């Protein structure tokens, strides 16, 4: 009987996912969810056939260049793969896979939660209740922003952007979107396409971001672009933290040019810009977009499916490098 491939899993994963890893592979797990240093990743990968990572644990060039020559695949437990240095992996002949599609609905649901919570001042409401400062219903208390007849701009109309459009349409939004190319009308819920994102921004009473993190999208939402949003706009981000210029958004939230923000991702996670913490009009969550049990299990099984195919000599379904 052939020996099972050896895998090093860098993060603790859901129970059902780890059970399948233990069944099908000779696996080194991380039961305590330890944060490994680059040197530890290199050392503990000796003799391994592959490693499994996530956005929590970056696998950059220095790590990849130090990996044992036995390592032939890196599977990331995520749809995004900016935390893995693809060029370095390619130079070493290491295959890289991700887990797209399975987290679309959970992330789109979270987008709507952030959109509504930010616009309807949910954090402020929670605060006055928890601090025992509520004096009862008042006609002018915590008046927020509605959805009906408002314009929602979607930056990035991939799977998640389309899922957000499907959810937002029944709320009464007029939809707009920007992507590299227009999509078939059946996929856009009647949203208006803008070839130039700069031209879309003035139509965004709400702006939700669903682009990948690339050199071109890093700090996409800067002061210049924020100024093009209508005064009192709402900004939502469930994509990647670095697509927003934190200093610029914080300044806009403080001035009121942006009325509210709903943010699930941040540059420098798990740390975030401290300027957000004192803002009552910023609704903040700790990267929970895909955090349902069904979704996280599906992500793990998708990663395993890719690994299974690779070690059988087949092309992984979700190869990105």
User: Of 108, 219, 34, 120, which is closest to residue 9 (Cα–Cα)?
Assistant: 34
- Which residue bears the tokens 């798990």? 270
Clarify whether 176 is annotated catalytic: no
Q: Count the Cβ atoms, other than its own, within 10 Å of residue 255.
A: 10
What six digits make up the tokens of 35? 């944060």
User: Of 11, 92, 23, 80, which is closest to residue 51 (Cα–Cα)?
Assistant: 11
- Which residue bears the tokens 């900016």? 82
- For 255, the enclosing helix (H) or strand (E) is helix 246-255
Let me know if 143 is exposed, middle or buried by CB neighbors in 10 A (0-12, 13-18, 19+). Answer: exposed
Q: Count the Cβ atoms, other than its own, within 10 Å of residue 128.
A: 13
**Distance from chain centroid for Cα 290:** 8
> Which of the residues 240, 273, 296, 302 is marked catalytic?
240
Give the separation between CA 64 and CA 46, rounded to whole angstroms: 12
Write a three-state SS string for 181-220. Answer: CCCCHHHCCCCEECCCHHHHHHHCCEEEECCCCCCCCCCC
Give the separation between CA 127 and CA 281, rounded to whole angstroms: 12
> Which of the residues 287, 296, 317, 319 is marked catalytic?
287
Clarify whether 101 is annotated catalytic: no
> Which of the residues 20, 269, 273, 319 is marked catalytic?
269
Clarify whether 269 is annotated catalytic: yes
Catalytically active residues, by annotation = 240, 269, 287
């Amino acid at each position: 009987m052939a020996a099972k491939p050896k895998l090093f899993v860098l993060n603790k994963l859901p129970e059902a996912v780890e059970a399948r890893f233990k069944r099908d592979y000779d696996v080194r797990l991380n039961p305590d969810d330890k944060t490994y240093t680059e040197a530890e990743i290199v050392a503990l990968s000796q003799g391994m056939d592959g490693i499994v990572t996530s956005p929590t644990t970056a696998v950059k060039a220095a790590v990849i260049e130090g990996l044992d020559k036995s390592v032939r695949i890196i599977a990331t437990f995520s749809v995004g793969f900016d935390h893995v240095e693809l060029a370095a992996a390619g130079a070493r002949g290491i295959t890289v896979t991700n887990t797209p599609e399975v987290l679309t609905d959970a992330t789109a649901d979270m987008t709507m939660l952030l959109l509504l919570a930010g616009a309807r001042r949910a954090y402020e409401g929670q605060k006055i209740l928890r601090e025992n400062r509520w004096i009862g219903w008042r006609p002018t208390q915590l008046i927020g922003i509605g959805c009906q007849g408002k314009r929602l701009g979607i930056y990035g109309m991939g799977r998640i952007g389309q899922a957000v459009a499907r959810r937002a349409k029944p709320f009464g939004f007029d939809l707009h979107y920007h992507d590299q190319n227009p999509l078939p009308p059946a996929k856009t819920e009647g949203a208006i396409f803008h070839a130039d994102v700069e031209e879309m921004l003035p139509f965004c009473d709400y702006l939700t971001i669903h682009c990948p993190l690339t050199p071109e999208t890093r700090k996409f939402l800067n002061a210049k672009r924020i100024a093009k949003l209508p005064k009192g706009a709402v900004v939502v981000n469930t994509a990647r933290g670095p697509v927003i210029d934190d200093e610029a958004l914080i300044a806009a939230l403080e001035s009121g040019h942006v009325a509210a923000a709903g943010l699930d991702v941040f540059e420098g996670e798990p740390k975030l810009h401290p300027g957000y913490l004192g803002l009552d009009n910023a609704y903040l969550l700790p990267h929970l977009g895909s955090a349902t049990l069904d979704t996280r299990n599906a992500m793990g099984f998708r990663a395993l499916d890719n690994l299974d195919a690779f070690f059988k000599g087949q092309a992984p379904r979700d190869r990105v490098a």
